[in-house]
Amino acid sequence: MRRDRRHDGEFVFAVTSTRIFCRPSCPAKRARRDRVRFFKAPEAAQAAGFRACKRCKPQDAAAPDARKAMVTKVKQALGDGASLSLEALAARVGVSPWHLQRTFKQATGLSPRQYAAARRLETLKARLQDGTAVTDAIYDAGYGSSSRAYAATRERLGMTPSSYRKGGRGQRLTWATTPSPLGRMLVAATDQGVAAVYFGDKDAGLLEMLRREYPEAELVRDAGAHSEWVEAVASRVKGRVARDVPVDIQATAFQWRVFEALKKIPAGETRTYGEIAEAIGAPGAARAVGRACATNNVGVVIPCHRAVGASGALTGYRWGVERKKALLASEAGR
């Protein structure tokens, strides 16, 4: 009766005489109590034969204030990667699991489970960088066992926690440089996949970038070690169709979602950061998409050159706008 916006997203109410359901804050005239039914979620009201109000649009995500409060509560509950089921989280914030999943994903681009996994990884990386012992860092980050931590970090860090803690010590990367239409190109790889693709004017500068990325790794110059991958990357630079190239890079769950969306953009075409954000279910996260592109360590393999500003301008490319323009032109056959 008070049309309290704080309860939007917790339930909807339906009116039997009009067959319409609304969110709690709907400004429409209130019906008689004996004609009102309550439902936990819009889907339940629709299943009962009611249609959504065109005025308050209850089938949409919760109102901004309520949604923000809900997302904040979930983030606090997950803490540094705490493991809670979707049902437990939903009960804690007082909404249905389905509504929580959809609202949280719209706001952050991640499901609660993916967010918790990303937080665990971020905490683990921070502990390892601080010099914390590997076992302590694993449990501080919320992993239930060493095996789970090693499985997760092998995929997202590209190396074991102990190797990451040592700045890549114990990790072996082979690298090679080659001329390309974009200048000198360096390709570095582990046995798992390509770890770096850099462009520049001189080999010395490219190697220095690789050393900064992996300060303690064993860097071995070997043009033949992963020649097929090097050739595939070179073909992509020239705008040719090439075989898929496996990658071995560090990325958060959100960054991986952005990278997968980039790989789906057809060669020679572009999408704005906002369109990419929409594609991964995170509308409004255009800046975060831009930051993810900036962290891409394997240019061309993950085609961040296909991401452009809202106006379509070719901005924000790590290797320079001219190289971005040249890549798109070669892909388009111009």
Catalytic residues: 22, 304
Per DSSP, the residues of 176-228 read: EEEEETTEEEEEEE-SSSEEEEEEES-HHHHHHHHHHHSTTSEEEE-TTTTHH
The C-alpha atoms of residue 213 and residue 255 are separated, in whole angstroms, by 18
The answer to whether residues 206 and 157 touch, using CB atoms and an 8 Å cutoff, is: no
- Strands 307-308 and 271-272, bridge-based pairing: parallel
The C-alpha atoms of residue 57 and residue 45 are separated, in whole angstroms, by 13
The answer to whether residues 301 and 259 touch, using CB atoms and an 8 Å cutoff, is: no
- Helix then strand then coil, in percent of the chain rounded to 5, is 45, 15, 40
Beta strands in the chain (DSSP E): 12-15, 20-22, 36-39, 51-52, 172-180, 183-189, 194-200, 218-221, 271-272, 307-308
Computed from CA positions of residues 84, 90, 96, 98, in that sequence, does the dihedral angle turn out positive or negative? negative
The answer to whether residues 4 and 25 touch, using CB atoms and an 8 Å cutoff, is: yes
Q: Which of 118, 138, 144, 75 has its CA nearest to residue 250?
A: 118
Q: What would the two tokens of residue 35 be?
A: 């004609």
The position carrying tokens 């065109």 is: 54
Which amino acid type is present at position 308?
Answer: V
The answer to whether residues 217 and 171 touch, using CB atoms and an 8 Å cutoff, is: yes
- Strands 194-200 and 183-189, bridge-based pairing: antiparallel
